Amino acid sequence: MKLFDVYPLFDIEIKSGKGCYTYDTEGNEYLDLYGGHAVISIGHSHPYYINKITEQAQRLTFYSNSVKNSLQQQLADKLGKISGYEDYSLFLINSGAEANENALKLASFHTGKKKVIAFSKAFHGRTSAAVKVTDNPKIVAPINDTFEVAFLPLNDIERVKKEISKGDVCAVIIEGIQGVGGIQVPDTQFLKELRNICTQNQVVLILDEVQSGYGRTGKFFAHQHSGIRPDLITVAKGMGNGFPIGGVLISPAFTPVYGMLGTTFGGNHLACTAACAVLDVMQKENLIENAATVGEYLISQLKTIPQIKEIRGKGLMIGLEFDYPVKELRNKLLFEQHVFTGASGTNVIRLLPPLTLSKEQADSFIGKLKNILS
């Protein structure tokens, strides 16, 4: 059987990783500034994390959600505490798309409506609110008709008000910082007004923190830079440091009902153990503070490079926009300088390193980038 070929791949096979570095089958070392789409939060192969999941795997990896699993409550307690959302409830699933899908369902059940507002260039996974992410006309949004999705320009509150005034909107879904869309940061004032307008009209505000959450921007969630509190928050990626797990944080305004949501694998023993270990390490090693300080330092150093047209982002979620397509630059970074980076669209390099990145590693990247640009 061949693999269904829907992703372009670099001809490199990564065999192992340690901290912010990965190693290929030929023994080459790479500085990893991408973490496999923001997934590696506490660094590759963290010894505490490995011990915890190894111990758990030797006992039990999974048992059905029809019996009690106290690891789920342990995770909810830790997550509530570190995120500042102790009064919210947690529903566990396996990925970011599932988290958003369940959040949209909750919003629809809660309001009895099915129109969703999302924003141009947003990406919420391959969900009902999927956005056209390529120029290929065969891939269009939305991908099914469960929800009707209106895509509005980011930061345009008047357009949001107009759409909501039609009375059929169940939810607004917005990324803490747009990742796939090019590291676009929503304005603080826009988020505050969005919160108010949703409250006034009983519209559910969903913050998709799948990429921007889990400490990446120097606060636990990116929206916390604006001081707002959404009704639903979705998480995944960095939550398990590579072990697939996702979650929806649900405000106390939602009442759970048996059968409302469901899952086979969500919240399994191994996934919860991985997610608890991630939070333990984040706390013990002050990784949120590290993301803030090293991110600020990295951005200040990037600003000294005149070839970069614009630098956007917060903490360790950074976009570097160039005047030209970055494909060649990224290839040179990877194949000549051994640095993994990501891209958003054609002209933006996306940096999503482990939150353990040090200033020395940031300097090493700056040196390598300057080597190529000079």
> Is 37 among the residues that bind ligand PLP (CB under 6 A)?
yes
- Cβ proximity to ligand PLP: between 20 and 131 the closer is 131
Q: State yes or no: residue 125 binds ligand PLP (CB under 6 A).
A: yes
Q: Which is nearer to ligand PLP, 208 or 231 (CB)?
A: 208
Partners of 184 in the β-ladder? 178
- Using CB under 6 A as the binding criterion, the count of chain residues that bind ligand PLP stands at 15
Which of 175, 361 has the CB closer to ligand PLP?
175
Helix residue ranges per DSSP H, the chain: 35-38, 47-59, 70-83, 96-111, 157-164, 188-200, 269-284, 287-302, 327-335, 359-373
Q: Cβ-closest residue to ligand PLP?
A: 96
With beta carbons less than 8 A apart as the criterion, state whether 251 and 231 touch: yes
**Consecutive H or E run containing 246:** strand 246-250
Residue 113 as a binder of ligand PLP (CB under 6 A): the answer is no
Q: At what angle do helices 359-373 and 287-302 cross, to 10 degrees?
A: 30
Residue 342 binding ligand PLP, by CB under 6 A: no
Does residue 142 have a cis bond before it (omega within 30 degrees)? Answer: yes
**Rule CB under 6 A: is residue 104 a binding residue for ligand PLP?**
no
Q: CA angle at residue 139 from 136 to 141, to 5 degrees?
A: 125
Least distance (Å) from ligand PLP to the CB of residue 91? 15
Contact between 180 and ligand PLP per CB under 6 A: yes
Which among 69-77, 128-136, 174-182, 298-306 is the span making contact with ligand PLP, rule CB under 6 A?
174-182
287 near 46, Cβ under 8 Å? Answer: no
| Contact call for residue 95 and ligand PLP (CB under 6 A) | yes
Burial category of 236 from C-beta neighbours within 10 Å (exposed 0-12, middle 13-18, buried 19 and up): buried
Question: Which listed range, 7-15, 56-64, 89-97, 268-276, lies at the site for ligand PLP (CB under 6 A)?
Answer: 89-97
Residue 37 backbone class (left: φ over 0; alpha: ψ -120 to 50; beta: rest): left
Contact status: 101 vs ligand PLP (CB under 6 A)? no
Residue 30 contacts ligand PLP per CB under 6 A? no
Please state the closest distance from residue 38 (CB atom) to ligand PLP, in A: 7
Q: Residues 201 to 260: which contact ligand PLP by CB under 6 A?
A: 208, 210-211, 236
Our finding on whether 266 is near ligand PLP (CB under 6 A) is no
* Beta-bridge partners for 19: 44
Q: Residue 124, interface with ligand PLP (CB under 6 A)?
A: yes
C-alpha triplet 106, 216, 179: angle, nearest 5°: 65
> Do 279 and 48 touch, CB atoms closer than 8 A?
no
Q: Examine residue 33 and tell whether it contacts ligand PLP (CB under 6 A).
A: no
| CA pair distance 230, 224, nearest whole angstrom | 10
> In angstroms, rounded to a whole number, what is the distance separating the alpha carbons of residues 237 and 180?
14
| Nearer Cβ to ligand PLP (23/190) | 190
350 binds ligand PLP (CB under 6 A): no
Q: Give whichever of 212 and 273 is closer to ligand PLP, judged by the CB atom.
A: 212
* Residue number with CB closer to ligand PLP (175 or 231): 175
State the SS3 of 263-312.
Answer: CCCCCCHHHHHHHHHHHHHHHHCCHHHHHHHHHHHHHHHHCCCCCCCEEE
Among the listed residues 31, 33, 76, 97, the single contact to ligand PLP using CB under 6 A? 97
Which residues form the interface with ligand PLP (CB under 6 A)? 37, 95-97, 100, 123-125, 175, 179-180, 208, 210-211, 236
